[in-house]
Every structure is written in structure tokens, then in C-alpha cells.
Amino acid sequence: MSEKQEALTKLEAGAEDIDIRAQQTSVDAAQAAANAARNEVAKMSLLAPFDGTISRVNISVGEMAAPAAPAVSMVSNSNYEIDALVSEADIAKVAVR
């Protein structure tokens, strides 16, 4: 049988069990590496509990964050409602921006 005929016969027979197991091991290792990378990214991310705009950054790239110090300050994008008692003399000074 020629080399080409042998190669065709192997292809038609399908992959051998040992080849499938070796490839599955490679896939499993790649998935484990991807999961480890996702976990590392999650450890390095800051997630806010609300939507907002960052108003101040208190930390620089490469600097370690302190446990009790805020890394950033945020202002919420939500609407605010304020109840205030304003004297009649001062009401003309009140403005909404």
C-alpha cells in the first residue's frame, strides 16, 4: 500500500482512542488556564455597587491599595430628592441646577 493510501485509511478509520484522550487533556488544560486567568482578572477588578461617575482617583498604577482607604470616589447617577425647610426670607436664594 502506498503512503497516501495508508494515510487515507487512517483518516477513514477515525482518531485512535489515545489521540482523543491526549487532545482532551490539552483542551482540559487550556480550560483550566482560562479559568485561572478569569479568576486573576476578577481579583484585580473594582466593582461599584451602583451606577455612577468616578469623581476622584486616590491611587496610582502599581500602588498597593490600603484596606481602610478608598481607591476611588464616585457620584451616583441616580436622581436625588431633598426635603428642606427654607425660611420665606431665603426662598428667593434657592436654585436647582
pLDDT in tens, 53-75: 999 999 998 888 888 888 899 99
Q: Which pLDDT score is estimated for 1?
A: 65
Q: How far is CA 23 from CA 18, 54, 75, 79, in A?
A: 9, 46, 50, 55
Question: Under a CB-based contact definition with an 8 Å cutoff, are residues 75 and 53 in contact?
Answer: yes
pLDDT higher than 90, residue 48: no
